[in-house]
Structure 1
Amino acid sequence: MTIRPLLAPFLGLGLLLGAPAVLAATPGAFTATYNVSQGGEPTGVATVTLHPAGNGEWVYSKNVKSTGGLAAMLGASLAESSRFRWKGDVPEAVSYDYQLQTGIKNKQRRMTVDWARKQVTVDEGKGPQTYPASPGMVERNTTSLALGLALRDGKQQIALPVAVRQQVQTQSFKVTGKETVKVPAGSFKAERIDRTDAERGFSAWYAPTRYPVPVKLSQHDGGDIVMEMVSYRQQ
């Protein structure tokens, strides 16, 4: 077993939780917590926050602490922070910081977007790389928020421009059914959405008329990881 499978879902997605109320055009500030399990065994807790940063920008941060398995033995932790601006109801990327720490390995990534020059710069400590930016692009930490808002707007198939390491990649998602989902925060009649452009075993369940984010997420790439909503506090 390696540290990567235990933290795999956090490498690709950022989760947000909304309050069970009528949604505004964009969600407000909040703090949320999540349980994370692998193969049915508890492995971690995630704390997610969204707050305004001034000048029309927002910051979405996720901090994950491992509580079980090898990741906990190694003292693993993951921190992601995204700064973005709203373009309609899309969280258009401004910057993204990623840091993974374990007892044996540290990894970091810094992404910035120069919208005046329409250029993305990515630096992982080995020198910066650049590529063209795309209007309305998100990054992996804010992808689930963009999906939730698209579902709220009634979309059944969604194509998102996502800034990754070396390019802006179009990722495709589709609503594949409706299911009742039970998580620590309650029982929800949810829409299931799956990624369709890659065999990554990603599924998420949304209650889009109540929340702009998943109530549950399952990812099989790198291990059978499940994330479930536990609590939400609006600020």
Structure 2
Amino acid sequence: MRTLKFPYRFLAGLSLALSTTAVLAAPPAPFTATYEVSQGGQPMGQATITLKSLGNGEYEYSNQIQGTSGLAAALGANSSDVTRFRWNNNAPETESYTSKVMAFKVKHRSMQVNWNTKQVSVDEGKGPTTYAAQPGMVDRNTLSLAIGLALRSGSQSMTLPVGVRQQVEQQQFKVQGAEAVQVPAGNFQAERVSRTDADSHFDAWYVPKRFAVPVKLAQSEGGDLTLQLVHYSSP
């Protein structure tokens, strides 16, 4: 029997460090996006991504996943990732991030960022780990959103400070070219973005003039996952 690897987050997340040729980014517009999720080529569930404005430059970015097929459905597997970030210096900066994954057992992760002291605290249930925050830092949950905002502003390559368990990683991404992509939401001419500083596989296809998040994402981290856009709406 195939072992289910249900990740902490599906759309991983991220903060902007725009290339020198990029123009200033406008604040993101609220939206709701739904995705089909598969693992190893087999249907597994559905993801719903929402971005809400809280006012005063504050936002909530939520990623809710429900297992609807195969072992994920049998186990009642689901996850919830919620980030609160601020729009600062034309880029998102994480203020808090919480993750809850339910499959064989319940797993929790939380991140708190104190921008006054510039300290990050991460707790996965075994006591907090602290380290220094960096300007423009985001968490894994908002990675795909920040990439989309960078592309919208004209970036073709970007280095993004991402807060993980014990440190800030300077993750590097680059546009590899334009490709035709077919997903449940339709056929698109998209920009394929790959991570270039790690061995783990990450590719995401964006239509930045239409959507803030990718129309398709494929990554090895978290269990050979693929997400395909089904529906996207913005008020």
* SS of alignment partner, residue 3 of structure 1: coil
Residues 32-88 of structure 1: CA deviation (Å, up to 9, x unaligned): 211011233211001111112234211001110011122221111100000000124
Q: Do the aligned partners of residues 89 and 184 (structure 1) sit closer, same or farther apart at CA in structure 2, a change above 3 Å counting?
A: farther
1:10 equivalent in alignment to 2:9: yes
Task: Name the CA distance, whole Å, in 1 between partners of 2:10 and 2:186.
Answer: 26
Counterpart of 1:21 in structure 2 is none
Letter in 2 for 1:123: D
Q: CA deviation at 1:205?
A: 0.5
Q: What is the DSSP-based 3-state SS (H/G/I as helix, E as strand, rest coil) of the residue aligned with 2:146?
A: helix
1:234: which partner in 2? 234
> What secondary structure, in the 3-state scheme, does the structure 2 residue paired with 1:147 have?
helix
Q: Which moved more, 1:24-33 or 1:74-83?
A: 24-33
Contact 2:34–2:48 under 8 Å retained in 1:
yes
Written as runs of structure 1 = structure 2, the 5 A alignment for 1:53-202 is 53-102=54-103, 104-202=104-202
Q: Count residues in correspondence.
A: 224
- Is the CA contact (8 Å cut-off) linking 2:8 and 2:101 kept in structure 1? no
Please tell me whether the aligned partners of residues 156 and 174 of structure 1 are also in contact (alpha carbons under 8 angstroms): yes
The structure 1 segments of at least 4 consecutive aligned residues displaced by more than 4 Å after TM superposition are none
Distance 1:159 1:54, change over 3 A: same
AA partner of residue 12 (structure 2): L
The answer to whether the 8 Å contact 1:89/1:146 transfers is no
Query: 1:26: how far off?
Result: 2.3
Alpha-carbon separation, structure 2, partners of 1:129 and 1:12: 23
User: How do residues 190-229 of structure 1 correspond to structure 2 at under 5 angstroms?
Assistant: 190-229=190-229
Q: Could you tell me how far apart the structure 1 residues matched to 2:100 and 2:192 are?
A: 30
Q: Which runs of 5+ in 2 are unaligned?
A: 15-24
Local SS of the residue matching 2:151 = helix
Q: Match for 1:171: what amino acid?
A: Q
Structure 1: state its 5+ residue gaps: 16-23
Counterpart residue number, 2:22: none
CA distance in 2, matches of 1:30, 1:155: 22
Give CA-to-partner distance per residue, 1:176-226, whole Å, 9 cap, x none. Answer: 111011111111111111001111111000112222221110113454321
- Judge conservation of contact 2:11–2:144 (CA < 8 Å) in 1: no
Change (3 A) 1:207 1:8: same
In structure 2, the partner of 1:47 is 48
1:11 and 1:186 map into 2 onto residues whose CA distance is 21
Give yes or no for contact 1:9–1:225 (8 Å, CA) kept in 2.
no
| In 1: Cα distance, 2:129 partner to 2:220 partner | 30
Q: Which residue of 1 aligns with 2:21?
A: none
Alpha-carbon RMSD: 1.8
User: Residue 155 and residue 9 in structure 1: after superposition, are their counterparts in 2 closer, same or farther (change >3 A)?
Assistant: farther
TM-score by length of 2: 0.89
The answer to whether the Cα contact below 8 Å between 1:162 and 1:169 also exists between their aligned partners in 2 is: yes
